[in-house]
Structure 1
């Protein structure tokens, strides 16, 4: 098949379809890789979404039989540069403090993606330590939204979302500790899914990210790709501290039929910060679509004190960040200096980096109690529907803090008045997703956010696939794109 034909395939096909072409022998893995490289180079100057190109190692891997086999045979992808080591690649975690550290091992999720046939062609950008809803860093600069150069691609998996939305690759790896898959998916008009706590492998470098709030997965063009990726990667890794139940049937089976009529709790407001009219309109459109598909939607309020919740979350983030920074100093032989870190990280370390063990334990117990409280709430509902964000995607610079005198409370308001909904379900461990169902009057994507019961990924995936069939989004391509039209 000619290069032009492969471009046409990648313009419209998802990873599942591309893998079928490879398995049939009609497209070679090397051809897919070279096409993806050309597509990346076409848009990267406008997006700034790549941390490091790994073209040579990817080309070398095409000579092995593994990439032409497996569930995702030959599909090119990128790995997020955040606590997800790729053998031989720089792992900066979005920070200047890590210098040129290169791992001589790989995270288990990368190993499983390779086993499924994926070709790792690079790493994607992340803000420092993944603690921002905008992918901007002193190390890499700002990753821009393919729908608008002036707006953020979201964070912290912003590089992944921008590349998928721009049709460079059909999926890209990311991770999510407070909305880091769902926020950028919403900002860029693609599908973002966060699995249940413990369903995905985090090792060997991480036992449990942020007391179990963090989990890897991917941002995808289609719902079935997200399900296929779960089939390829889900399940505890060796020595994991705990594990969520893996469903007996393949996750891809969940997307093949509509779900039963669901009871959906609609939450339009959470905490002290208002939800803007454009977000209310978007979540209202999602609710009406669900009702048209036969589901029952009921407006509710969640029994959560958001400010108290966020204080406990930042106790965990602060203690974890202190550990990361101290460990880095031990690894390199000299302590990390404040000027090596970004203002946001310095504020978190200043106010929460020296909490006591008792304070950390109390924060973990608090969020575990919240998980139990929400599990009781979910006895009456199958799904919770909220906005992903309280407003349109922010402009570049709005979340790039420069004032080190800012208080932690001001930092929390800056970030969580923008996204008060997503972190809640990291703390509770529930699966959650952003589904691209609406665009604002200015042409910016506005995702709808759904959370399900713990361990019930299939319910969410079935609902997402039903929504995708009813209101497809793959035909909406942003102005910055790699397509040949």
Structure 2
């Protein structure tokens, strides 16, 4: 009989380990067996550290660690472990090895996790699917014709298929919540500044991106918040610690009646599928039955303008990253060094003015102010997590005319370059338009697995809370989970 059960969460195995029903080595061995069985079809895992992980399972002291002896996979982007590959899903970095361990990965180790490998990502995390040229596409365990999303797509496929109960993930524009919606997981993006960052960087994408995890349960999510919340003096953004503790709050805090606004409208004015709307309306009905106040109301934010500001940042940050890589390689980069989407962002960022970049951050701040005012009337904001279920692997997101514009990105002016950036995402963004706003305002936001489409694919709903109020998201999630609302 297998030790690992794809339905059980991390805390279940933590209890099994604490009671010595199983050993860390047995659990790690079982993870590798599941990877061996499932990964050929899913391509979720791009690197395994078998000998090192098994040695750690035997030799490390896990006493007093909440996740002592639990195997975990970290994301192959930004969650480095010294001496292991550090490719960011890019052929340009295929031989790169991490010189240091990220503070986030170290926090996982400090909590008792055993890092057994890395998960697949799109090149530099730039897509809402996971199909890097370097490693090939990850596939959705619910139906391998479909994508698990991105950029934490490998992580989602790994957790859903039972390779590990929890996987490291990160979210710079929905990259935890999108895969959670597509694969039926719980996906929380914490408040800006909540979890460890660095070393070497005090901000990721100007605060838009944050590391956390993909889980199977609310209690695992709460326990992960307890072990990962931090105050880092060197970090650009800091959030006060939740001293009560998230697990304690789940168990002991009195139930709160929430004021909830919901919207079925895409912030970029694109189509929202009937099934995504059904998922929200079904949730609204349940919320009202529980006594919560729920009204239909959309914040007055220009979503198209906000998303365009995101791409300005994305372009500028890509240029900065690539210039650092050029310096390290001591040569100029060419179109053959990277995927075409990356090439477009890299070149578009070269012509962005300091004023345009500053105005982008001001746009984010203005949106944050709108949401802070909105939260004076509403505790939570409910939307679809994604506008539709997962797309098929290998979907053509750009036609030949668009690809030609992308290849010619260096031949046009800055205004047209930003238009090319917008247009190259014009087919993929409408599937996942709901995630980015919380990245830019800094709010916590969670995808909850509440719906199965007629095609048998998961769809999530998304709740967004005021900054620092992850416990509200967890409370709603706990009640929905306990009442059988999760798929």
Q: What is the aligned partner in structure 1 of residue 409 from structure 2? A: none
Q: What is the aligned partner in structure 2 of residue 481 from structure 1? A: none
Q: 1:276 to 1:5 in 2, by over 3 A?
A: closer
Query: How is 1:140-159 mapped onto 2 (pairs within 5 angstroms)?
Result: 140-159=135-154
Q: 1:261 Cα deviation (Å)?
A: 1.2
Q: 1:370 Cα deviation (Å)?
A: 1.1
Q: What is the aligned partner in structure 2 of residue 271 from structure 1? A: 268
Whether the 8 Å CA contact 1:15–1:72 is kept in 2: the answer is yes
TM-score, scaled relative to structure 2: 0.93
Moved more, 255-264 or 285-294: 255-264
Structure 1 gaps of 5+ residues are 477-485
Q: What is the aligned partner in structure 2 of residue 310 from structure 1? A: 307
State how far apart, in whole Å, the 2-side matches of 1:348 and 1:165 are.
32
State how far apart, in whole Å, the 1-side matches of 2:217 and 2:61 are.
24
| Counterpart among 324, 330, 346 of residue 327 in structure 2 | 330
Moved over 6 A (4+): none
Whether the 8 Å CA contact 2:6–2:165 is kept in 1: the answer is no
1:310-340, CA deviations, whole angstroms, 9 ceiling, x for partnerless residues? 1111111100001111111212322322211
Is 1:456 aligned to residue 464 of structure 2? no
Whether the 8 Å CA contact 2:268–2:303 is kept in 1: the answer is yes
Query: How is 1:296-307 mapped onto 2 (pairs within 5 angstroms)?
Result: 296-307=293-304
Q: What is the aligned partner in structure 1 of residue 43 from structure 2? A: 48
Q: 1:217 Cα deviation (Å)?
A: 0.2
Is 1:233 aligned to residue 228 of structure 2? yes
Q: 1:159 to 1:220 in 2, by over 3 A?
A: same
Is 1:390 aligned to residue 387 of structure 2? yes
1:51-89, CA deviations, whole angstroms, 9 ceiling, x for partnerless residues? 211112211211333345401011101000112211111
Q: 1:400 Cα deviation (Å)?
A: 5.5
Query: How is 1:123-272 mapped onto 2 (pairs within 5 angstroms)?
Result: 123-256=118-251, 259-269=255-265, 270-272=267-269
Q: 1:207 Cα deviation (Å)?
A: 1.8
Q: What is the aligned partner in structure 2 of residue 340 from structure 1? A: 337
State how far apart, in whole Å, the 1-side matches of 2:29 and 2:119 are.
18
Q: 1:200 Cα deviation (Å)?
A: 0.8
Is 1:58 aligned to residue 53 of structure 2? yes
Q: What is the aligned partner in structure 2 of residue 414 from structure 1? A: 427
Q: 1:182 Cα deviation (Å)?
A: 0.2
SS at match of 1:384: strand
State how far apart, in whole Å, the 2-side matches of 1:357 and 1:399 are.
34
Q: 1:472 Cα deviation (Å)?
A: 5.4
Q: What is the aligned partner in structure 1 of residue 480 from structure 2? A: 467
Q: 1:401 Cα deviation (Å)?
A: 4.9
Q: What is the aligned partner in structure 1 of residue 99 from structure 2? A: 104
State how far apart, in whole Å, the 1-side matches of 2:23 and 2:466 are.
41
Q: What is the aligned partner in structure 1 of residue 377 from structure 2? A: 380
Q: What is the aligned partner in structure 1 of residue 28 from structure 2? A: 33
1:216-271, CA deviations, whole angstroms, 9 ceiling, x for partnerless residues? 00000111111111111111335112201111111112322673111111011023
Moved more, 347-356 or 50-59: 347-356
SS at match of 1:417: helix
Aligned pairs, how many?
Answer: 469
Structure 2 gaps of 5+ residues are 407-419
Q: 1:100 Cα deviation (Å)?
A: 0.9
Q: 1:366 to 1:11 in 2, by over 3 A?
A: closer
1:356-413, CA deviations, whole angstroms, 9 ceiling, x for partnerless residues? 2221111112111211111111110010000011112111122665725252232232
RMSD of aligned residue pairs (Cα, Å)? 1.6
| Counterpart among 439, 448, 452 of residue 426 in structure 1 | 439
SS at match of 1:129: helix
| Counterpart among 354, 357, 371 of residue 360 in structure 1 | 357
Moved more, 50-59 or 328-337: 328-337
SS at match of 2:159: helix
Query: How is 1:70-85 mapped onto 2 (pairs within 5 angstroms)?
Result: 70-85=65-80
State how far apart, in whole Å, the 2-side matches of 1:282 and 1:109 are.
33
State how far apart, in whole Å, the 2-side matches of 1:185 and 1:150 are.
17
